[in-house]
Structure 1
Amino acid sequence: MSEQPPGPAAQQRMLERITLLLAHALPAGWEESTVVHRAVGGHTETLMQVRMVSQRFPTLVEPHPELAGLFQELRSAMYRPGVGTWFSAIFRLTFPFSFDANYDNREEPDWRDARPPAAAYEEELRLFPREPGNVPGWLAAATGAAEADDGLRMAKPFDSMAPDGAPVVQRAPVPDGDRDAVVRYLQQAPIVLAARSFDTDLLDPQRASSVPLTYHTDGTWIWPGAVGYYLKKHGLPPEPDLVAHIRAAGFQLPEVSEDARKEAVNVITSPSG
Structure 2
Amino acid sequence: MSQPATPLNEQEQNQLVKQIGRAMLPALPPGWQRVRAEYRAAGRHIEVDLAFAGPDGQWRPVRPPMDMVQLLGQLRTGMYEPVRGTWLSAVYEIEAPAAFSVDFNAEDEPRWRNAPPLIGFQDELRTFPRQDERIPEWLRQRLGLPPLPTPVEPEPEQPAAPVQQVQQAQEGELRTAHVYDGRDEEGRPVVNRQAIDRQLGDALLGYLEGAPVVLAARDLDVDEFVPTDRDVPLNFRTDGAWIWAGAVPHYLRKHGLPPEPDLVEHIVARGFRLGEVDEATRERAVAMITGGA
TM-score, normalising length from structure 1?
0.54
Q: Offset of 1:3 from its aligned partner?
A: 6.8
User: Is the 2:50–2:61 Cα contact (8 Å) retained in structure 1?
Assistant: yes
**Aligned pairs for 1:1-273 within 5 A:** 4-53=6-55, 55-112=56-113, 114-146=114-146, 157-158=192-193, 161-162=196-197, 164=199
* Counterpart code for 1:83: R
Give the whole-Å Cα distance in 2 for the aligned partners of 1:134 and 1:17: 30
Two-structure CA RMSD over aligned residues (Å) = 3.7
* Counterpart code for 2:136: P
Q: Secondary structure at the match of 1:66?
A: helix
- With over 3 angstroms needed to count, the CA separation of the structure-2 counterparts of 1:148 and 1:89, relative to structure 1, is closer
Q: Flag structure 2 segments of 5+ consecutive residues without an equivalent.
A: 152-180, 182-190, 205-222, 228-254, 261-293
Q: Secondary structure at the match of 1:96?
A: coil
User: Is the 1:31–1:94 Cα contact (8 Å) retained in structure 2?
Assistant: yes
Give the whole-Å Cα distance in 2 for the aligned partners of 1:109 and 1:87: 7
Q: Offset of 1:174 from its aligned partner?
A: 11
User: Is the 2:27–2:64 Cα contact (8 Å) retained in structure 1?
Assistant: no
Aligned to 2:188: none
Q: Flag structure 1 segments of 5+ consecutive residues without an equivalent.
A: 176-233, 240-273
Q: Offset of 1:115 from its aligned partner?
A: 1.4
Give the whole-Å Cα distance in 1 for the aligned partners of 2:121 and 2:200: 40
User: Is the 2:35–2:93 Cα contact (8 Å) retained in structure 1?
Assistant: yes
Asked which structure has the greater CA Rg, the reply is: 1
Give the whole-Å Cα distance in 1 for the aligned partners of 2:200 and 2:8: 51
Q: Offset of 1:148 from its aligned partner?
A: 6.7
- With over 3 angstroms needed to count, the CA separation of the structure-2 counterparts of 1:148 and 1:33, relative to structure 1, is closer
Q: Secondary structure at the match of 2:33?
A: strand
Give the whole-Å Cα distance in 1 for the aligned partners of 2:98 and 2:69: 20
Give the whole-Å Cα distance in 2 for the aligned partners of 1:25 and 1:3: 29
Q: Offset of 1:157 from its aligned partner?
A: 4.2
Give the whole-Å Cα distance in 1 for the aligned partners of 2:225 and 2:146: 23
Q: Offset of 1:71 from its aligned partner?
A: 1.0
User: Is the 1:122–1:143 Cα contact (8 Å) retained in structure 2?
Assistant: yes
Aligned to 2:175: none
